[in-house]
Amino acid sequence: MAKARIHGHEVFYRAEGEGSAVVLIHGIAGCSATWDAVVPRLAARHAVIAPDLLGHGESAKPRGDYSLGAYASGVRDLLAVLGHDRVTVVGHSLGGGIAMQFAYQFPERCERLVLVGSGGLGREVSPLLRALSAPGAEYVLALLLARRLHGFASRVGSTVGRLGIRGDQLMTELWNSYSRLTDARAQRAFFHTIRAVIDPAGQRVSARDRLYLAADLPTLIVWGGRDSVIPVEHASVAHELIPGSRLEVFERCGHFVPIEAPQRFVEVLEDFLATTEPADLSQSSGWQELLTSTTTAASA
């Protein structure tokens, strides 16, 4: 991992390879390790950047803005520091919402959009995440993630591994994610982040009403057919709302496709990169006309 100091805060990231740039954005409570099995394969042909978002992993966890817009700006700033003007942006879960926000805020910097089990495409989300967004959940989580319990669970996990018993991928990854939150600053950042996008009724931020703006942006949608965190039906909705988008459903995978099927994921992504032309959009390219026509139609 390398690090950069941006706006006074340390941002850790992994960067490998050369060629056209691909940025990989992880989900909530995760980190760049989500892409560990993907980065080396992808870096054979591309410059790959996988950051730990602020509030996650090794990056700083300041008291600040953890909205999708702030995260998108943070990704832009890191790419500027690294000298990448235009990228293919790939987002998993919360990272998908950030990727869409990045494409919306900085279209001139976005060549392609890849959404993997993405948030921001419908209200439905796992009951666990809805519960964690509720008032007072931070106090419950603090008890659950007490260091004694964390140590005990780690020992149990190690014993299970030695016995050759394969745990459920979703529960394993969720535990890995939440066990990183034993630090009070990480817990605070987690709750700021989750409450920016989820409440007890479900996801509270949706990009559905703006997806038509991606008509000229090559878009790939990847989902696990057994996703129990965000339902696969959201993939079909996004596919219908984004003209010309490509949909790939990994029927045997759950929410963590890059972890569960990294080789196939890279093959699908590489094919998408090889068979599409990067978008070249200015910030106002066609958007004024699209927005005006949509507003006029709605008024009528």
Active site residues: 93, 227, 255
Element housing 157 (H / E): helix 147-162
Any bridge partners for residue 87, and if so which?
Answer: 110
What's the chain's Rg over C-alpha atoms?
19
C-beta separation of 51 from 12 below 8 A: yes
196 HSE (CA, 13 A, CB side): 19
CA distance 206 to 245: 18
Structure tokens at 186: 């990480």
CA distance 102 to 121: 15
Residue 201, φ and ψ in degrees, nearest 5: -85, -10
Quote the DSSP letter at residue 21: E
- Tally helices (H) and strands (E) across the chain: 12, 10
C-beta separation of 182 from 176 below 8 A: no
User: Which amino acid does the sequence have at 15?
Assistant: A
How much of the chain is in helix, strand and coil states, percent to nearest 5?
50, 15, 35
C-beta separation of 68 from 210 below 8 A: no
Any bridge partners for residue 9, and if so which?
Answer: 6
Any bridge partners for residue 50, and if so which?
Answer: 14
160 SS3 class: helix
C-beta separation of 220 from 248 below 8 A: yes
